[in-house]
Structure 1
Amino acid sequence: MAAQLHCADFRPPPGLANRHVQTLLPRLLPRRKLSWRVEGLELPDGDFVELAWALPDIVAEDAPLFLLFHGLEGGIRSPYTRELMATAAGLGWRAVVMHFRGCGGRPNRLPRAYHSGDTADAYWLIAQLAHRYPRALKVAIGVSLGANMLIKLIAEQGGDGLDLAGAIAIAPPLDLAASADTLHQGFSRFYERHLLASLKAKVARRLEALPLPLTARELDALDSLREYDDAVTAPLHGFAGVADYYRRASAGPLIGDLELPTLILHANDDPFMPPDLFEQLPAPGDAVRVEIARHGGHVGFIEWHDGRLGSWLARRVARQLGDWGCTTPQDAWQEMRRVSRSDS
C-alpha cells in the first residue's frame, strides 16, 4: 500500500463477511432510537433543502457540530443516518443532516434535483452554520453520493475555505463512471434497480414541469443508472451528457489536492464500486487518511462487538470525533499527519 493508504481494523463476524450480506444487514438490524425536528433552509436561487436536527436540542452555543450528507435517495430514515446521528448526539455533538433537494418530506420548488457533484447547497449551509454557531467546532461527514460531493467541495474551497475542523467520507464513489458500470453487473443490479425505481418515481410525479424531452414511457424504459443520468441528471443540471457529468462530478481526481483533515473509509468488496478503485486514482494528499477494509460491503461494516451485532462505522466515527472534538482545525491537521506517519 502507498503511504497514505491504511488497513482498516474492521473484522466481520464469522459467516457474515459476504459483501451483499454486509450491505443489506443494516436494514435488517434494530435501528437506533432517534428523534428529530425539521427545518427548511432557504437557498439563494429560491429553492430550499430540509434539515433534520437530532433531539433534544443542545443549548450551548459552543457545542461541537456534526453535519451529515446522505447518499443517493437517502435521508434521516436511512439506517446509517440514524446510527451516525445518534452516535454523534450521544457524544454531546449538535447533529444535523441536510437532505438534498427533493429528498426531504416535500418536493423542491425548482425544475431540478441533485447530483453527485452538486456542492453549492452544502457550501451555503456550512456558511449559514458558521454564522449561527461561530464558536462551535464543526465536522462534516458524507456517505456514498454525499461523500463524493463532500470531497469535491473540500477540494474546491481549499484548506481554509470552509468552517470545518475535519471531514469523514464513507464509501465515496470517486469514479462515477466505474461505479455505474459496476452497479449494472451481477447481483449489484439489485441495488441499481432499487435506486432507479425511487429516482424514476420521483421524476414521474413532476415530469410535465421538468425541462426534459422525455415521455413517461421513455422514463419507465430507462434500464440503468447510466441511462438515467444521461436522460435526466445530465440535461437537468447543465451537463453535455452522461460522460461529461461523470467526468466533472467525480471527486477521485481531486483527492491529492485536499488540504482539510479528511478520513476516507472504504471496503474493497463494495458492490457499488470496482475492486481496484484507489489503484486508479491519484495518491491522497498529506491531510488525507484512507482506511480500506477487505470486507464491509457498501456502507455496511457490521461487526460483533460487546456481545451483539453492531456498526463498526459508528465506533470508528466516534473515535474520530473524539480525536477532533477538543482540537482547533490546525491541531486536527497535525493529528491527522501524526497518525498517518505512525502507521506508515
Structure 2
Amino acid sequence: MTFSVHRFEPPSFVPHRWRRGGHLQTLLAPRPTMSISEWQKLSSGVKSEKHRLPVSDNDTLILHDDTPESWLGTPRGSVLLLHGICGCHAADYMVRFKRRLLAIGIRVFRLDMRGCGESVAYCRGITHAGRSEDVLAAIERIADLTGEQAAPIGAVGTSLGGNQLLRAAGRIGAGLDARPSYWDRIGPILAIAPPIDLQACSDRMESWSLRFYNHYFITQLLRRAKSTLQMREELGSLLDGRAPKTLREFDRRITAPMAGFPCERTYYAESSAHSVVEQIDVPALIVTAADDPLVPVDSFVALRDRVHESTRVLTMPTGGHHGYTQSDGTAWTDELVAKLYDSAW
C-alpha cells in the first residue's frame, strides 16, 4: 500500500457552539449529512444482500453487503464497518458511514457481531472487546466475495469495534496470528474512540459522575444477554440476583464467564488492543478526543511516539466519545470516513 496516513489531511472540525465539552458531544446525536431525497436517489442503484458468516463455537454472524452500481464495473474498494458495544448494523453512525461511502463508489459491508442485530438468533455467544477473530473472519469473506482482483479492503471500527479491529491487525503484525494471503489488500483502517486499555476504561467507569453511562450500557447489555442466555441453560444463573450497577460488575458477572475468561481482569488484559497496537503494519488511523468521558486520552499519549510508521494517532481537542458534532449539526466523522477512503483509493 502506498497511502500514508501521515500525509492525509483530515477535514477541519469546528465544534457545535452549544455542544461544548465531552458529555454534550457524546450524548447529543448529530444529524445525517445526506438528506432523505439524496439517499433515495443513491439507493436506487445499490444492490443489497446478506451473507451468513460461520465463526467459532458454532455461532453465525450476519454480514450486510451493499454494492453501488459503479462498483460492478470498476471495483474501487470495499470497507467493513464495525459497531460499538450497544450497536449493530443499523446504528445511526453505521448507516451514515455506509451512505457516504456508497456515494463515492465504495462497496460497504456492515457486520452484526455475536448477539447483536440480526446475528442474535444464530449465536450462543456474545460479542466482547477481544473478538478480533470475528473481524478477520469477516475480512476473509470480503476478500472472497470481491475476488482476486487487487481492489483494496478497508475497515472502520467505532468504540468497541475499534478495539477489535486494532487487536486483529496488531496480532497479525506481531506474528501472533498467521498473516492471511489477502493481507496486502488491507488498509487504510480507521479506529474511532477505541477503548484500547480496557482496565483503564473500567477504572474510569467506576466514577460516580459516570453513573448515567453505566445505567445506559447495562440496560442495553442485559437485554441482549437475556436473549442469548435463553439458549444456554447452563449459564442461566448468571442473571440471578440484583442487576449489575457498573460495567465492571457486568463484565465480572456476565461477560467474563460467558466468554470463557476466569475473571474480568483477565478479560481486560487479554482483550485490550494496547498490547499489540504498536505492531500494526498496515496504514492505520486512530482517532480519539481529549474530552472523551469514557476512554481516557492518557491511553494514547505515550502511544503516539511508539506506533509503527504506518500508524497515526490523531487526538482531537474535543468531540466526546464518538460525538464530533460540527457547527452545522452534522458529524465530523462522516466527513473523515468519506475523505479518508476517497483520498486513499
State TM-score, norm by structure 1. Answer: 0.84
CA-CA distance at 1:208 after TM superposition? 4.5
What letter is aligned with 1:192?
A: N
Counterpart Cα distance in 1 of 2:16 and 2:230: 49
1:217 corresponds in structure 2 to 240
In 2, Cα distance between equivalents of 1:61 and 1:235: 47
Counterpart position of 2:330? 310
Amino acid at match of 1:65: S
Match for residue 17 of structure 1 among 9, 20, 30:
20
1:161-186 Cα offsets, whole Å, 9 max, x none, are 43413200100001111112222324
Which residue matches 1:331? none
1:169 matched to 2:191? The reply is: yes
Change (3 A) 1:104 1:15: closer
- What residue ranges of structure 2 are gaps of 5+ in the alignment? 1-5
- % identical equivalent positions: 28
Residue 317 of structure 1 and its aligned partner are, at CA, apart by 1.8
Q: Which residue of 2 aligns with 1:321?
A: 341
Query: What is the Cα deviation at residue 44 of structure 1?
Result: 4.4
Q: Superposition pairs for residues 150-189 of structure 1, below 5 Å? A: 150-158=165-173, 161=180, 162=183, 163-189=185-211
Which AA in structure 2 matches 1:316? L
**Counterpart of 1:335?**
none
Residue from 195, 204, 220 that aligns with 1:198: 220
State the distance in 2 between where 1:321 and 1:207 align.
39
In structure 2, the partner of 1:336 is none
SS in 2 for 1:302: coil
| Structure 2 contact 54–61 (Cα < 8 Å) conserved | yes
- CA contact under 8 A between 1:116 and 1:149: conserved in structure 2? yes
In the TM superposition, 1:118-129 aligns within 5 A as 118-129=131-142
Aligned to 1:334: none
Tell me what 2:163 maps to: 148
Tell me, in whole angstroms, the C-alpha distance in 2 between the residues paired with 1:317 and 1:31.
12
Contact 1:62 1:137 in 2 (8 A): no
Q: C-alpha offsets along residues 280-300 of structure 1, whole Å, 9 cap, x if unaligned?
A: 547222110111011000111
Asked if the contact 2:196–2:273 (Cα under 8 Å) also holds between the matched residues in 1, the reply is yes
Pair 1:115 & 2:128 matched: yes
The letter for the 1-side match of 2:115 is G
Are 1:299 and 2:322 matched, yes or no? Answer: yes
In structure 2, relative to structure 1, the CA distance for the partners of 1:130 and 1:55 (3 Å cut) is: closer
Q: After superposition, what is the alpha-carbon deviation per residue over 1:213-262, rounded to whole angstroms, capped at 9, x for unaligned?
A: 635433x4211111111111111122121000000000012221110110
Aligned match of 2:63: 51
Deviation at 1:7, TM superposition (A): 11
1:241 aligned residue (248, 254, 263): 263
Q: How many residues get paired?
A: 316
1:269 & 1:7 partners in 2: Cα distance?
Answer: 22
Q: How far apart, CA to CA, are the structure 1 residues paired with 2:9 and 2:207?
A: 27
Runs (4 or more) in structure 1 with deviation over 6 Å come to none
SS of equivalent residue, structure 1 residue 68: strand
